[in-house]
Amino acid sequence: MKLATMSAAEDAAADVAEDYRQALEDLTVNSRIEIATLTNIARENSQHAMAIAEVLANHIKKVPPPRTLPALYVLDSVVKNVPTPYALYFGPKLYSIFMGAYTKVDNPTRRKMDEMLKTWKEPVPGSTNPKPVFPPEVVKPIENALIAAKNVALQVNQSSFQGQQYMLRGARGPAPPHRETPTPPNVRPATQQPGHQYPPSNGHMPPHGGNGGFPMRPHNGPDVLPPRATTQPPYGGAPYHQPPQAAHQGISIERLRDDIQQLIVAEKAEFVRDPLDVGKQTRLKALLDLQTLIQRPDVPQEQLMLVKEKITELSVNMRGSLPAGGTAGVAPVAAGYTVPPYTATPTPPVIPGAIGAVPPPQVPAGAGQQRPPSAPAVAGSAPVAGAGAGALSLDSLFGQGALAALLAGATRKSATPTPTQTGTPIPPPTVPPPVAAGVPAPAPVPAAAASLAASLPPALAAVLQSRSHTPTTAIPGAAAVVPPAPHLEAAIPKPAASAPPTVPAGAVPPPPAPAPGAANPSALLAMLRQSGLLSGGAAAGGPIIKPEPGTGLLPIIPNPLAGQPGEPSPLPAWAFTLKQYRGPHFINRLHEDLGPPCTQCGRRFGTDDEGRRKKTAHMDWHFRVHQRVTDAERRGQHRSWWVEQSDWVSSVEAIDVDHSHRPDATSAQSKGIPGQDTLNYDDEDNDDDYDPEASFNQSYNSYSGASGADAAGGYGGAKSQGGAGRGKGGKKGPGGTKNYIPVPEDSAKVNNMCPICQERFEMKWLDEAQEWVWMDATKVGGRVYHASCHREVNGTGAGQDGGVKLENGGGSAGGGWGGRKRKAEDDGFSGVNARIKLEY
Amino acid sequence: MSIPGLGQIAPQAPTSTQRTITLRPFGEWRFSIPHQHSTFSSNSSAAGVTVRLVSGTAERDGTELAPNSVYTFLPGTKSKLFTDQGCTLEINNTGGYPLEDRVVEYPSPEQSPMLQYINFHFGLQDFERAAAVTAQQQQQHGSIRYQQMKAQPKPGPRVLMCGPRGSGKTSLVKTLAALATRMGSQPLVANLNPTDGLLSLPGTLGAAVFGTLMDIEDPEGGFGVTNTPISGPSAVPVKNPMTFYFGREKVEDDAEMWKQMTERLAGLVSRKFERNRDVRVAGLLVDTPPLEEGWWRGRRGWRVNYVVVLGSAELQRAMGTRLAGEKTSYGEPIAVLGLDKSDGAVEIEKGWRQKSTETAIKEYFFGGIKARLSPFTQSASFDELVVFKAPDEPYEGAPVLERVEPTPEMAHWTLAVMIASVTDSPQTIRFSSILGFIVIADVDVERRRVKFLSPVSGRLGNHPLIWGRWPEPYLNLLA
C-alpha cells in the first residue's frame, strides 16, 4: 500500500518533470516573462522539487550555448525566489552545472555568468533573509576555479591576451590568487600554440591541483600521487620531481592526467554503450596509453603542452559528440579562437581522409578543422611536419595536424637538450628519410604509444613493458640520441605485418595500419625514443622485447621475436596497463565512491536513494541477527545440510533481506533425485511473508516456526501459524505432526492452559530440539493455544494461512522437524532440499 | 599472560601485547598465527590476535575491515592485511600467541603486485562486466543481434587462475571475488583443487556464489567451511556451496574422476549462468590445482576467456602458445595474462595444512568463535547405513564405488553424505553433490552398530555415504 502511494508520487513527479522539461525546451531567449512563469511552476510544484531541479540541471548541461544563459537565469530565478528547497538541491550540483555551462558559452555570456555568480554570494535583494543565495562553500569553489583558470590562461598567453584577461579579471573583482597557480611568465615561447584562454578543465578544475576545487570530491593536499610523493624514487637515478617541476612550468601532470582520466571516463561510457565500435575502442586505448606515458617522469614539458592542447580540444569535441553526462565538466577552450569551440563544431561529422582505414572515429570534423590554425604554426618548426598520412589511432584521436604538431614539438625537444644532437632539429643521419616520412603519422608523443597499442599490441606492450620494468636502465635523453632505426625496423614490423593481432573483447578487428604505416612502427619507436619518451635502454640493444624470466612480466607477451609458431594471445587494451598506478581517484572507486562503510561490517552503501534503502535493510538485518544470535546459541544450533544441485542452480543470493523474488520459483520446486523424498517448495510465498525474517529462516532448519514465533514475536507469527495449520492436519489426520513451541521462559506471563479447550499444555523434553517444549501448541498474538484447537476454531484463518504454505511445502522451513516431523521420521533428510533460502 | 616455561613468549607480556602500526598506501601487514596444540588451547583469555582498524582503510583479501571494529584472528591463520589508502592498525595479542608478523611496504604502488590485481579487477569490472550488462540489456530490449543468435548473451568474465604451488592463486581468487562483491557484483567462484575445499572440507570440488560480505576472521578468509549455512542466524552472511566429493588429495590420485567431476561442475555453473542474471553478468573465477595439466583438462567446459598465470613466465608462455587461436564457445579469444606473484605468497606446509583440515572438520561440526554448533551423536545399525568406498587405487575399468560394510578401520574417518538414493547406481551416487559430512565415532562389529557424529539430527534415511581416501582421520572428534 505504501508502495503504491510512493510510486504514485513518483509518477506525479515524473509527469511534472516532463512538463517542465518541455517548457524549458521552449525557452530560447532571455525572456523575463517566460522565466517568471517557469519560476512559478517550480514554486507551485515544490513538492517535486528534486525532479524539477534535476530536469533543469540536465537542461543546462544539454542546451546549446546560445540558450544556456536563459536556462541559467531560470535557475537563478528559481533559487532566489524559492530558495527552499531548490537551493538545497542545486547546491551540491552547482559546481558542475556552472562550470559545465561556463566552458561552453562565449565570452559575453561568461561575463553575464560572472555577474550572476556574484549575486549568489549576497542575500536576495529585498529579502529579509540575510543569508546569501548559495552558501560560500558552494560558490567559493566555482570562484576559485574561474580565477585559477584565468590565471593560467593569462600566463600561458600573457603577451597577447594580457589586456583582455585583466579586463576579464577586473570585471569579476579582485580574487585571491590560488596557491598552486603557476607563476613564472615566459614559460612558453615560440613553438607553442596559442595557449588556452581557459585551460582544460575537467571536473576538478585543474589549477587547483585538487585543492578543494571540486567540492564533491575533496582532496587533501596537492593531487600528487601520495605514494610517490612520499617514497624514495624507485627509479634508480632518475629524479622523481615531476610535480614540482610541472607546476613550475605551468603544466601540471596531475592536471593533464585528470583531463585524460576525464576523457577516459567519458570514452568508457561511450565504449560501454557500444563496445563494438572500433573507433571508440581505439580512442580509449589511445587514451589509456597516453595516460600511462604521461606519468613518465622524463616527459618534456613541450610535449606535455602539446598533449595537453590536444587533450583540450579532444575533450571539447568529445563533449560535443557525447550526450551530456560525465563530461559535463570537461571544459576546455582552445584559446586561439575567439569563437567558442562548441559553436565551431556544431555536429560531429567524420574526419575526412586522415584516418585511412580506421573506422569512423567519433572525432568531429571540428577537430581537424580547428587544428589548422595552431598545428601548422607548430609544425612549421620541424622538417617532418607535413606528412600526416599514416594516421593510426592517434590521428583518429587527435586529428591529423596534431600529430605533426606533436611530432615537431617532440623532435625539437629532444634535439635541444641532447648534447650530441645540438643544432639541427633532426639530423638527417640519425633519422633516415623513410623514418621521417613515416613519423608524422604515429606521432611520437606519448599518445603514439596509444596508436601503436591498437595495431601492435605485443610489440608496444613489450616496449612499454621493458620500459616500466627496467626503469633504472633508462637513460633519459641521452640514449635517445642515436635511435638505431634500422634495428628497430628489423625488429618491430614483423609482428605488425605478419600477425595482425585481434582485439579480444568485442571481436573488433584493430584498425589496420595503412600502407605507409608499414614503416611506422620502427619510425615511431625511433621517435619515441628520440623524444625521450622511451628510454634508450631498450633501444641500444637490438632486441627490445626481452622478457626477464622470473620477474613477473606484465603482461607477459609471447615474444614475437622468438619465432614462436602461434600467434600471440590477444589481450584487451586494458590488460596493458595493469602495472600502472592511476592515482588515488582510482582507488577511491573501491572506497569513498561506494559510500560510507557500515560500522559493523565495513560494507559500503551509496548515499543515493537506492543506497539508503539498501543500507536500511542492511542495518535491520544486523539488528535482527544480533538480537537472535545469543538466543540461537543458547537454544543450540547446528550446521545445515547443503542443497541439492538443481536447487543450488536456481537459488538466488539474498542479500540482507530477501526482497529479491525468485525469478523461477517453479523450477525451484524440487526436481529431486529419484528415490529421495523431495519436497516441493516455493519460496515466493515465504518471501512475502518473511521478508524481515530472512535472516532467520535457517533457524527453521530444524525447529518449527514455533520457536521462531516465540523469540521473534511478530514476524515469527506467520510461520507458526503455518505450522499450526499443519499441526492440525497432523493431529486429525494419520500420523500426527508434532507442533510445539519452546516452553516460554516466563511461564507466569503466559497462559499455561489452552483458552479453547481449557486443557494444559503437554510439556516435554524434545530431543531434537534439545529443549523443553509444549507439544501441539502455537502462539498467536500473546496467547498460546493448542495448535489443533486454534485451527478448529479459526478454521479458515490460520488454516488457510498454513494450508497455502503447506501445499507449497511451506513447512519446509521447518526442515526435518516441526511441521514436517512426520516426514522427517520417515526420512530424516527430507527437509534438506527444501531449504534453499539461506541466511544472508 | 606470560606462561612460565614458555621461554621467549614471556618478555612480550601484558604491557607490550598491544601495538599500533601504520601502513603507507599499498603496504601490507603479513601475519601468521600458528595452530595451537590442543593442550595449549583455550587457556588464554583471548581466542586469537585481535586487530582494530584505527584509521584509513584496510582489507583482507579484498574484503574491507570495518573501522574501529575488533577482529579476532584465530590460530591457524596465515594472511595479510593490505591497504591501498594507508591505515593505522592496532594489534593486540593478549593471548600471547606466537604471532609472526611483519610490515611490507613498497617504494611505489607500481611495485606492489596488489596494484596489478586491483587493476585487473577494474579491467574485468569496467570492460567485461559492463559489456555483459550491456549485452544483457540489449537482449532484454530485443536487439536484433541477439535475437539472431538465439543464445544467452555473453556472460561476464570467466577467469581461470593458474600458477605454481604457493603462488597465491586462492588468495587472488578470493581477492577478486571480494572486490567484485564490494562493487555489487555476485561472482561465481569455483574450486578445482581438491587439496583445498571451497566452503567445504578438503577433498572436495565445488562452486558458490559470493554476493555477500566475506568473513574476515575465518582462517580461510571466507572460503572456509564455517561460512556454510547453520540453523541459526549468522553474523556474517553464509554462502551456499555446491560440492562434489573427490575424496583424494591430489588430482593425480584419480585424474579421470577429477576430470569428470570438473565437467559436471562446469555444467552446473553454466546452468547457473542461464538461470541467474546477476551471476551471469558477474562472471566466474576458477581456482585450480597447481598443475599445468589441470588447467588444460578442466578448461573447456568452463569457457574461460581469461587465463591468469601467477608468477610464472614459463607457464604463461606455454599457455599462450597452447591457447593461441582458440576461442570460447562465445567466440571470444582467450587472453593469457601474467601477473606477478606476491612475495608474501608461500606454499602451505604439510603440517599446517593438516592442522587446517582438522580445524575445518571441527568447525564443520562444532562451529567457530562466531557460532557454537551442537552436532548430534547417533547410532545406527549396519543395515541402516549404506556405505560406498572409493577404490584405493583407481585403475582402468575399476568400479567408481564399491559397497562396503562398516569396519572398525572406518573409525574417525569423515564420510560424505550424498544427495542421492541408495538405490541409485554407483555412478549417479558418485556424481551427486554432497549433503554434508558425518564422522564415524565407533564401529561395533559384534552388535553391528555404528556410532557417528552428524551435524543434523534425524536418521540418514536412504542417503548413501561415501568413504573417501582423503583426508585421513587425524583426530578423535568425540574424545
Angle at A284 between CA B119 and CA A354, to 5 degrees: 155
Asked if residue B179 belongs to a domain, the reply is yes
CATH number (domain holding residue B406): 2.40.30.330
Judged against a pLDDT cut of 80, whether residue B286 lies above it is answered with: yes
In chain A, residues 23-82 whose CB comes closer than 8 Å to chain B: none
> Between A234, A468, A840, which is nearest B237 by CB?
A840
Torsions phi, psi for B450 (to 5 deg) = -120, 130
Judged against a pLDDT cut of 90, whether residue B417 lies above it is answered with: yes
**A674: which chain B residues are within 8 Å (Cβ-Cβ)?**
421, 423-424
Question: Nearest CA of chain A to the CA of B274: how many Å?
Answer: 9
A633 contacts chain B (CB < 8 A): yes
CB-CB under 8 Å, A638 with B375: yes
Asked if residue B357 belongs to a domain, the reply is no
- Three-state SS for A739-796 is CEEECCCCHHHCCCECCCCCCECEEEEECCCCEEEEECEEEECCEEEEHHHHHHHCCH
Angle at A222 between CA A221 and CA A227, to 5 degrees: 90
**A634: which chain B residues are within 8 Å (Cβ-Cβ)?**
none
3-state secondary structure of A205: coil
What chain A holds in terms of domains, given with CATH numbers, is 13-208 (1.25.40.90), 242-418+434-535 (no CATH), 640-834 (no CATH)
Asked if residue B352 belongs to a domain, the reply is no
> Between B57, B242, B335, which is nearest A575 by CB?
B335
For the residues B164-179, what does the mean pLDDT come to?
94
User: B433: Cβ–Cβ under 8 A, 6 or more apart, which residues?
Assistant: A642, A644, A645, A648, B242, B243, B244, B418, B419
In chain B, residues 234-273 whose CB comes closer than 8 Å to chain A: 234-243, 268, 271-272
- DSSP for A291-348, written as a single string: HHHHT-TT--HHHHHHHHHHHHHHHHHHHHHSPSSGGGG---EETT-SS-HHHH-SS-
Report which of residues A434 and B205 the model is more confident about.
Answer: B205
Residues A345 and A366: beta-carbon distance below 8 Å:
yes
User: A634: Cβ–Cβ under 8 A, 6 or more apart, which residues?
Assistant: none
- DSSP for B330-377, written as a single string: TS-B-EEEEEPPPTT--PPPHHHHHHHHHHHHHHHHHB-SS-B---EE
Q: Which of A597, A218, A616 has the alpha carbon at shortest distance from B53?
A: A597
Q: How many residues does chain B have?
A: 479
The CA distance from B233 to B138, in Å, is: 40
The CA distance from A413 to A191, in Å, is: 10
CA nearest to B457 within chain A: A768
**B63: which chain A residues are within 8 Å (Cβ-Cβ)?**
602
The CA distance from A368 to A352, in Å, is: 8
Q: Specify whether B182 is located in the same domain as B224.
A: yes
Q: Specify whether B259 is located in the same domain as B404.
A: no
Residues A493 and A443: beta-carbon distance below 8 Å:
no
Report which of residues B371 and A345 the model is more confident about.
Answer: B371
User: A357: Cβ–Cβ under 8 A, 6 or more apart, which residues?
Assistant: A511, A512, A513, A514
B402-404 vs B335-339, strand pairing mode:
unpaired
A651 contacts chain B (CB < 8 A): yes
Q: Which residue out of A569, A618, A839 would a mutagenesis test of the B interface target, given it has the greatest number of B Cβ atoms within 10 Å?
A: A569
- Domain of residue B390 covers 375-467
Q: How far is CA A366 from CA A349, A351, B319, in A?
A: 8, 8, 46
B144 contacts chain A (CB < 8 A): no
Q: For residue B320, what is its C-alpha cell?
A: 599462450
Q: Specify whether B237 is located in the same domain as B321.
A: yes
Q: Specify whether B268 is located in the same domain as B197.
A: yes
Q: For residue A145, what is its C-alpha cell?
A: 576555479
B127 contacts chain A (CB < 8 A): yes
The CA distance from B141 to A242, in Å, is: 49
Q: How many residues does chain A have?
A: 840
A504 contacts chain B (CB < 8 A): yes
Q: How far is CA A734 from CA A774, A793, A796, A811, in A?
A: 21, 20, 21, 17
Q: Specify whether B58 is located in the same domain as B168.
A: no
Residues A587 and B85: beta-carbon distance below 8 Å:
yes
Instruction: Based on DSSP, count helices (H) and strands (E) in chain A, helices before strands.
Output: 34, 7
- Give the annotated binding-site residues of B for ATP: 28, 78, 166-171
The CA distance from A499 to A560, in Å, is: 9
Q: Specify whether B226 is located in the same domain as B188.
A: yes
* Among candidate residues B65, B93, B109, the one where a domain is terminated: B109
CB-CB under 8 Å, B242 with A643: yes
B27-33 vs B100-104, strand pairing mode:
antiparallel
Q: Which of A463, A485, A487, A460 has the alpha carbon at shortest distance from A535?
A: A463
> Between A696, A700, A838, which is nearest B238 by CB?
A838
Based on the number of CB atoms within 10 Å of its own CB, is B383 exposed (0-12), middle (13-18) or buried (19 or more)?
exposed
- Averaged pLDDT in 10-residue chunks for chain A of 840 residues: 54 81 81 83 84 86 83 87 83 85 83 86 77 83 84 62 42 41 39 40 39 38 36 37 40 67 70 60 69 62 65 58 38 36 36 37 37 36 35 41 42 38 36 35 37 37 37 34 36 35 36 38 42 37 35 36 47 87 89 92 92 90 85 85 91 64 33 31 32 32 33 32 34 46 65 75 67 75 77 53 33 34 37 39
The CA distance from A559 to A568, in Å, is: 8
The CA distance from A657 to A720, in Å, is: 20
- In the DSSP assignment, the letter for residue A289 is H
The CA distance from B47 to B369, in Å, is: 8
Q: Specify whether B96 is located in the same domain as B140.
A: no
Report which of residues A33 and B271 the model is more confident about.
Answer: B271
Name beta bridge partners: B22: B88
Question: What is the crossing angle of helices A278-294 and A446-455, to 10°?
Answer: 140
The CA distance from A528 to B126, in Å, is: 30
In chain B, residues 357-376 whose CB comes closer than 8 Å to chain A: 364-365, 367, 371-376
Considering A493-502, A713-722, B203-212, B299-308, the range whose residues carry the highest mean pLDDT is B203-212
Q: Which of B188, B471, B160 has the alpha carbon at shortest distance from B294?
A: B160
**Count of A-B CB contacts under 8 Å:** 389
Asked if residue B314 belongs to a domain, the reply is yes
pLDDT digits (tens, 9 = 90+) for B445-475: 999 999 999 999 888 888 999 999 988 886 6
* Among candidate residues B317, B339, B361, the one where a domain is terminated: B339
Asked if residue B265 belongs to a domain, the reply is yes
CATH number (domain holding residue B96): 2.60.120.1030
Q: Which residue out of B134, B189, B227, B419 would a mutagenesis test of the A interface target, given it has the greatest number of A Cβ atoms within 10 Å?
A: B419
User: A826: Cβ–Cβ under 8 A, 6 or more apart, which residues?
Assistant: A677, B461
**Tally of structural domains, chain B:** 3
In chain B, residues 434-463 whose CB comes closer than 8 Å to chain A: 434-436, 455-463
Report which of residues B105 and A450 the model is more confident about.
Answer: B105
User: B251: Cβ–Cβ under 8 A, 6 or more apart, which residues?
Assistant: B193, B194, B258, B289, B291, B293, B294
**One-letter identity of residue A287:** L
pLDDT at site B416: 95
**B457: which chain A residues are within 8 Å (Cβ-Cβ)?**
638, 702, 767-768, 816, 828
Torsions phi, psi for B446 (to 5 deg) = -65, -50
The CA distance from B60 to B81, in Å, is: 5
Question: Nearest CA of chain B to the CA of A594: how many Å?
Answer: 7
CB-CB under 8 Å, B109 with A227: yes
**A504: which chain B residues are within 8 Å (Cβ-Cβ)?**
305, 332-333, 335
Q: Specify whether B69 is located in the same domain as B185.
A: no
**A561: which chain B residues are within 8 Å (Cβ-Cβ)?**
none
Q: Is the ipTM beyond the 0.85 threshold?
A: yes
Q: For residue A253, what is its C-alpha cell?
A: 601532470
pLDDT at site A272: 60
Q: Which residue out of A601, A615, A646, A650 would a mutagenesis test of the B interface target, given it has the greatest number of B Cβ atoms within 10 Å?
A: A601
Q: Which of B116, B113, B58, B118 has the alpha carbon at shortest distance from B85?
A: B58
Question: Nearest CA of chain A to the CA of B343: how many Å?
Answer: 11
B119 contacts chain A (CB < 8 A): yes
B122 contacts chain A (CB < 8 A): yes
CB-CB under 8 Å, B332 with A505: yes
Name beta bridge partners: B87: B23, B56
Residues B11 and B98: beta-carbon distance below 8 Å:
no
Asked if residue B246 belongs to a domain, the reply is yes
Question: Nearest CA of chain A to the CA of B349: how many Å?
Answer: 23
- Three-state SS for B259-309 is HHHHHHHHHHHHHHHHHCHHHHHHCEEEECCCCHHHHHHHHHHHCCCEEEE
Q: Specify whether B210 is located in the same domain as B329.
A: yes
Angle at A648 between CA A647 and CA A649, to 5 degrees: 90
Residues A628 and A711: beta-carbon distance below 8 Å:
yes
**B456: which chain A residues are within 8 Å (Cβ-Cβ)?**
638-641, 701-702, 815-816, 828-829, 832
B145 contacts chain A (CB < 8 A): no
CATH number (domain holding residue B200): 3.40.50.300
* Among candidate residues B88, B109, B130, the one where a domain is terminated: B109
User: A121: Cβ–Cβ under 8 A, 6 or more apart, which residues?
Assistant: A132, A133, A134, A136, A139
Q: Specify whether B74 is located in the same domain as B139.
A: no
Q: Specify whether B116 is located in the same domain as B173.
A: yes
Torsions phi, psi for B304 (to 5 deg) = -70, 145
Asked if residue B346 belongs to a domain, the reply is no
Q: Specify whether B204 is located in the same domain as B322.
A: yes
**Cα A14 from chain centroid (whole Å):** 26
- Three-state SS for B411-423 is CCCEEEEECCCCC
Question: Nearest CA of chain B to the CA of A210: how many Å?
Answer: 17
CB-CB under 8 Å, B268 with A645: yes
The CA distance from A196 to A337, in Å, is: 9
**A653: which chain B residues are within 8 Å (Cβ-Cβ)?**
186, 209, 211-212, 240, 278-279
pLDDT digits (tens, 9 = 90+) for B384-411: 899 999 888 888 888 889 999 999 999 9
**One-letter identity of residue A236:** G
Asked if residue B347 belongs to a domain, the reply is no
CB-CB under 8 Å, B212 with A552: no
CB-CB under 8 Å, B421 with A594: no
**B336: which chain A residues are within 8 Å (Cβ-Cβ)?**
569, 571
Question: Nearest CA of chain B to the CA of A634: how many Å?
Answer: 9
A442-477 exposure pattern, b = at least 16 Cβ within 10 A, e = fewer: bbbbbbbbbbbbbbbbbbbbbbbbbbbbbbeebbbb
CB-CB under 8 Å, A827 with B462: yes
CB-CB under 8 Å, B277 with A504: no
Question: Nearest CA of chain B to the CA of A283: how many Å?
Answer: 15
User: A270: Cβ–Cβ under 8 A, 6 or more apart, which residues?
Assistant: A277, A280, A284, A322, A362
A333-334 vs A196-198, strand pairing mode:
antiparallel
- Give the annotated binding-site residues of B: 28, 78, 166-171
A639 contacts chain B (CB < 8 A): yes
Q: For residue A23, what is its C-alpha cell?
A: 517548457
Q: Which of A54, A60, A17, A18 has the alpha carbon at shortest distance from A328?
A: A60
Residues A217 and A204: beta-carbon distance below 8 Å:
yes
For the residues B363-367, what does the mean pLDDT come to?
92
To which residue does cell 587405487 refer?
Answer: B393
The CA distance from A819 to A815, in Å, is: 8
